[in-house]
Amino acid sequence: MKLDLSAFENWDRLNWQLASRFQIPSEISVRCSQGLPSAIYELAIGVAQFYSHKKSAAVITGRTPHDQWIWPYLFKEGYQVQQLAAEKSATEIVASLHKDINFVLVCEDHPITGEIYPVDELETLLNEKKIFCFRISHQAHFFKPTSIQPYTARICSWSPRLAVAFVGPKIKSQPMISPALDWNEQQVLHEMDLIQQETLQDEKAVLDFEKKIGGTGLQVFSVAAQRCYDRSLIYSSEIGGEALQKSLAQLLGITLAPPGWERRLETTHLCRWGGIRHYEWWQGRPADDVLRGLIALDISLIKNSRIHEFLDKASQECRFVQQP
């Protein structure tokens, strides 16, 4: 038997705990959500409903798959959604916005490559114009702390079931469903501690690893210099990424977690993630054969003294299996 009730106060207590842990000023609100799509949806739709007279929104497209759920609602409500070109300067972007703009959604980093995008100037200009700025961070928040401006919400991803938003005092957005969900305060804090401890970066180690990768018959997937150095992306046009991932995991003694939860050794192979539709959001995405063969290695594996030996052996095993 069970009493079918919800402990609504758990959400508030968890948010207070996080505000204290991250030493967040009292005027900034902290909100937990069960995943990045949920956090973006609750904040964006909440603002859209509260400021319903402002019927425009804008987004720099092609940088996250997690915003796609908000646009059908906004279109239904008669919103005009501007798709902003990332190549334009912050000044040009602000000048191009509609007069009734409600919010602008930008990403700090790429969810796969870890590339860092320059959004600080744009955020400042939007705040000066009293325009809401939603900054999505897939992993940049682990390495780049930043103060929250009054018209800014920084939405930070921790896991597929946990995201934390730090919301500026000028943003009015009523929580929708998160307070009513099941929140285990100690479990969430423990999970965040583990993720924080495991999430490290080392620029020198990554660059040294990538310089030596040619000897394994693999190629480095080129990423801009401004990036999170917690990973390296490599690929082969001859070997499927999922096969290489499994072979390398066996050599390393790793038990792979499900897609989205694996933090050490992951692939963009289409079979692992459900097909090409999963990457439709990625503007300028690599060719299908690159996505098929791409794997990402965490810094902990990059620093393994035998990683090149294991990569070479795993590649040879995969090539042998693929022989007709």
Ordered by start, the domain boundaries in the chain are 9-198, 203-322
> Residues 264, 265, 271, 276: is their CA dihedral positive or negative?
positive
Q: Given this model, what pLDDT does residue 276 score?
A: 59
Q: Given this model, what pLDDT does residue 275 score?
A: 66
CA dihedral 221, 154, 105, 67 (to 10 degrees): 70
Q: Which of 259-263's residues contact partners 24+ apart within 8 Å by CB, and which partners?
A: 260/159, 260/160, 261/159, 261/160, 263/195, 263/198, 263/199, 263/298
pLDDT in tens, 183-223: 999 999 999 999 999 999 999 999 999 999 876 678 999 98
pLDDT in tens, 220-268: 999 888 999 999 999 998 899 999 999 999 999 999 999 999 999 999 9
Average pLDDT over all residues of the chain: 94
Q: Given this model, what pLDDT does residue 303 score?
A: 97
Q: What is the CATH number of domain 203-322?
A: 3.90.1150.10
Q: Given this model, what pLDDT does residue 181 score?
A: 93
Place of tokens 């940088």: 63
* Fold annotation for 9-198: Aspartate Aminotransferase; domain 2 (3.40.640)
Mean pLDDT by 10 residues, the chain (324 residues): 85 96 96 97 96 96 95 95 94 96 98 96 98 98 95 98 98 92 95 95 96 83 92 93 96 95 95 78 90 95 96 90 69
Q: Given this model, what pLDDT does residue 215 score?
A: 67
